[in-house]
Chain A
Amino acid sequence: MTPNPYLWLIPLLPLAGAAINGFFGRRSSKKAITTVALVFCGAAFLMALLIAARFSSASAPYYFNLAHWLRAGSFQVDFSFYLDQLSLVMLLVVTGVGFLIHIYSVGYMWDDDGYYRFMSYMNLFMFFMLTLVLAKNYLVMFIGWEGVGLASYLLIGFWFTKDSAAAAGKKAFIVNRIGDFGFLIALFLMIKHFGSLDFTRVFTAVRPLSPETAGAGLLTAIGLLLMVGAAGKSAQIPLYVWLPDAMEGPTPVSALIHAATMVTAGVYMVARSSMIFERAPMAMMVVAIIGTLTALFAATIGIAQTDIKKVLAYSTVSQLGYMFMACGVGAFSAGIFHLMTHAFFKGLLFLAAGSVIHGIGGEQDMRKMGGLRTYMPWTFATMGIATLAIAGIPPFAGFWSKDEILWRAFGASWVYWLIGVITAFITSFYMFRLMYMTFGGEYRGAAAQEAHGHNAHGPDNHGPGHGEPHESPWVMLAPLAILAVLSLVGGFVGYGNRFEHFLAPVFRGATEVAQEASSEAGDSKLEYLLMAVSVSVAGLGWLLAYLLYSRRPQLPARIAQSLGGLYQAVAHKYYIDELYAVLFVKPLVDGSTTILWHDVDQGVIDAAVNDSADVARHVSDNVRHMQSGNLRSYAGWVAAGGAVVIAYMVWMGVR
């Protein structure tokens, strides 16, 4: 443990930027707002780079106590920060990708009236995310956890005059609360049984405990509750429903919060708690199963979506499922590796999608795109790289991390591996479908644009004058290019298991248990075979998408027709939203309306208040006649009162 007095500056810098823009942004020029937002965010990135440059595994982990917070007997919680290999990776991803997306936002949001608000919220998000990542105890982490939820809510509902955006913001917030409830109870259990929320102290207390192989115990309970929290934040079954709706927010928000950073907080938290999970095999299994199912489930929905951002949203849910699958089979470093590469290529995919939306005047429906390859070659090239990366084509970043996960999943059970490979196939298919529909063929938006004027319906509309699709300005393309390079080479940090070795000290407690499993399956021939399978499966997905959406664009509609109900179910996201509406939302709303509102609030509380007011009014209606203003009548009342008192005393005295 080495103190590092600069740690606290990293989260505080974006907070300063958010405060300056939030308080003074309304009256400042856009240039000033841009400078503040970028300087404070960039400064955090620079600080992160400096700290990373001086990082040495020998003196890690670093920590810094900023201030005392709670002191209650032996229980204490401080505002303290912590940096080890795991949080360093997260720190660089969050500040790096975050800074790039800030730059991109300058171009994307420039014409919006709420520009200062947007930049302030983005900086605020950075503050909370960095607090989450750098926390030294679960409670500070929880501040960040709730804070990113707040920032997410504010940014999803950024265009709050639109009903759907406001509703999506609320939905995200409420669904996350369900998860946070689980997280919070897990924290209470830790306080009760370990007397601390500090990572080191909790893990020291957990370390000597033996794995709860037979039945469930305290660690299993904590693990499962933590997973409930992670499922909420990271959009896993059954709490994933908020993420696709969150696409109502501006596209840079989707890229930063709902793809690259915030939604991975759950994975980070599970990885951070690896010491607990390793000793609770049942919780691990639940994590793996939820992750695997989510990966497959969300990927299938992604096939039938026509909104470009919805496809990417379901893809994000699916990829997060991969990360949980990795954590669930004990391959925490593989999960974090995928988290990192996913931040690169999914951030890039969203930014490129934003560039497309920006370029054709706010249209998000892929059926009205097409042929954009010639109009926006840079966007096409960078998005192509990201697509290759997510599909798992070597040597792009996604290949390395996804292959690592699949390999480790195979070590745990071939079922995980099989579902993972099927998901990889579907992923490849829907991503290339997206590419062909967006960039291939002929531009299909012109007719629609004439019919709708310049198409002022989209939320991402950037003023009139969008006759023809156009390439985005350099301020948006530069982040795309940098992320494309990262998507291209980012996977090589995992070459020769270097990434895993780097993270090994963090997961030492975890790997002790998992070591035997990996050495058992340490067969390199088998590894290459599985690699070949997953790559060829990705190739197949590409081929299928090419055949269906480039060679025979009429075919998909016919297939959809012949599938009938199945296609409808997929296109309607398996009616999960409708199911939740019937199962949870409607009983809640009905119960609140009839029982809580009509019966309790109006029938009991309002009635009690109103009736007592009525009684008071009637009594005072009569009594106020006594206050006539005639002094002698007052004197009469005084005398009468005195007489009564005396009479009473005399009477009592006689007794």
Chain B
Amino acid sequence: MIPLSYYLLLSGILFACGVLGFLIKRNIITIFMSIELMLNGVNLSFVAFAAQWHALSGQVFVFFVMVVAAAETAVGLAIIIAVYRTRETLNVDRVNLLKL
């Protein structure tokens, strides 16, 4: 059996990649994908723990996360399209109306 630490390490790497992408990239779509990456990193640790402890709750949580992520993707992509139509760009640094 593969030890738990392997899963957690992979999960951490995935999460770190997500964070890094979120911080570095300027394209909204990429940032969005980075968020998904972070969520999936977390999901991976959930299922890993669920398998380790033979507890179902971790898997249940993963389903919740996936549902919310799907809803979020739908809303987020809609917003991105709306932003693109008005601003003609996907660069977040130029979508800064809320900034003082």
Please list the residues of chain A having a beta carbon within 8 angstroms of any beta carbon in chain B.
Answer: 629-632, 635-636, 639
What are the residues of chain B within 8 A of A639 when measuring CB–CB?
19, 23
A632 to B22, CA, bound (A): 7
Would B96 and A629 count as touching, CB distance under 8 A?
yes
Among residues of B, the one whose C-beta sits closest to the C-beta of A646 is B12
What are the residues of chain A within 8 A of B96 when measuring CB–CB?
629
**Quick check: is B99 within 8 A (CB to CB) of the other chain?**
yes
Among residues of B, the one whose C-beta sits closest to the C-beta of A642 is B19
Would B99 and A630 count as touching, CB distance under 8 A?
yes
A139 to B63, CA, bound (A): 76
Q: Give the tally of cross-chain contacts (CB within 8 A).
A: 15
Least distance between A325 CB and chain B CB atoms (Å): 82
Q: List 15 A-B contacts (CB under 8 A).
A: A629-B96, A629-B98, A629-B99, A629-B100, A630-B99, A631-B92, A632-B22, A632-B23, A632-B92, A635-B19, A635-B22, A635-B23, A636-B23, A639-B19, A639-B23
A629 to B96, CA, bound (A): 9
A639 to B12, CA, bound (A): 13
Residues of B44-91 whose CB lies within 8 A of A:
none
A479 to B99, CA, bound (A): 81
Least distance between B29 CB and chain A CB atoms (Å): 15
Least distance between B92 CB and chain A CB atoms (Å): 7
What are the residues of chain B within 8 A of A632 when measuring CB–CB?
22-23, 92
Q: How many residues of B contact A (CB 8 A)?
A: 8
What are the residues of chain A within 8 A of B99 when measuring CB–CB?
629-630
Least distance between A627 CB and chain B CB atoms (Å): 9
Among residues of A, the one whose C-beta sits closest to the C-beta of B98 is A629
What are the residues of chain A within 8 A of B23 when measuring CB–CB?
632, 635-636, 639
Interface string of B1-34 (1 = CB under 8 A from A): 0000000000000000001001100000000000
Closest 5 A/B residue pairs (Cβ): A629-B99, A639-B19, A636-B23, A629-B100, A632-B23
A629 to B93, CA, bound (A): 11
Least distance between A500 CB and chain B CB atoms (Å): 89
Q: Give 12 A-B pairs besides A635-B22, A635-B23, A639-B23 with Cβ atoms closer than 8 angstroms.
A: A629-B96, A629-B98, A629-B99, A629-B100, A630-B99, A631-B92, A632-B22, A632-B23, A632-B92, A635-B19, A636-B23, A639-B19
Among residues of B, the one whose C-beta sits closest to the C-beta of A627 is B100
Least distance between A645 CB and chain B CB atoms (Å): 14
What are the residues of chain B within 8 A of A635 when measuring CB–CB?
19, 22-23
A632 to B96, CA, bound (A): 12
A631 to B28, CA, bound (A): 12
A635 to B18, CA, bound (A): 12
Least distance between A653 CB and chain B CB atoms (Å): 13
Among residues of A, the one whose C-beta sits closest to the C-beta of B38 is A639
Among residues of B, the one whose C-beta sits closest to the C-beta of A639 is B19
Least distance between B42 CB and chain A CB atoms (Å): 12
Least distance between B91 CB and chain A CB atoms (Å): 12
What are the residues of chain B within 8 A of A631 when measuring CB–CB?
92
Among residues of B, the one whose C-beta sits closest to the C-beta of A629 is B99
A639 to B23, CA, bound (A): 9
What are the residues of chain B within 8 A of A636 when measuring CB–CB?
23
Among residues of B, the one whose C-beta sits closest to the C-beta of A630 is B99
What are the residues of chain A within 8 A of B98 when measuring CB–CB?
629
A92 to B98, CA, bound (A): 80
Among residues of A, the one whose C-beta sits closest to the C-beta of B12 is A646
Least distance between B93 CB and chain A CB atoms (Å): 8
Among residues of A, the one whose C-beta sits closest to the C-beta of B20 is A639
What are the residues of chain A within 8 A of B19 when measuring CB–CB?
635, 639
A636 to B31, CA, bound (A): 13
Least distance between A253 CB and chain B CB atoms (Å): 64
A631 to B93, CA, bound (A): 9
Least distance between B82 CB and chain A CB atoms (Å): 18
Among residues of A, the one whose C-beta sits closest to the C-beta of B24 is A632
A524 to B100, CA, bound (A): 103
Least distance between A530 CB and chain B CB atoms (Å): 96
Among residues of B, the one whose C-beta sits closest to the C-beta of A632 is B23
Least distance between A639 CB and chain B CB atoms (Å): 5
A86 to B19, CA, bound (A): 92
Least distance between A625 CB and chain B CB atoms (Å): 13
A631 to B99, CA, bound (A): 9
What are the residues of chain A within 8 A of B92 when measuring CB–CB?
631-632
What are the residues of chain A within 8 A of B100 when measuring CB–CB?
629
A407 to B23, CA, bound (A): 105
A571 to B96, CA, bound (A): 85
A158 to B98, CA, bound (A): 61
Least distance between A414 CB and chain B CB atoms (Å): 94
Least distance between A509 CB and chain B CB atoms (Å): 83
Least distance between A70 CB and chain B CB atoms (Å): 58
Least distance between B20 CB and chain A CB atoms (Å): 9
Among residues of A, the one whose C-beta sits closest to the C-beta of B19 is A639
A261 to B78, CA, bound (A): 89
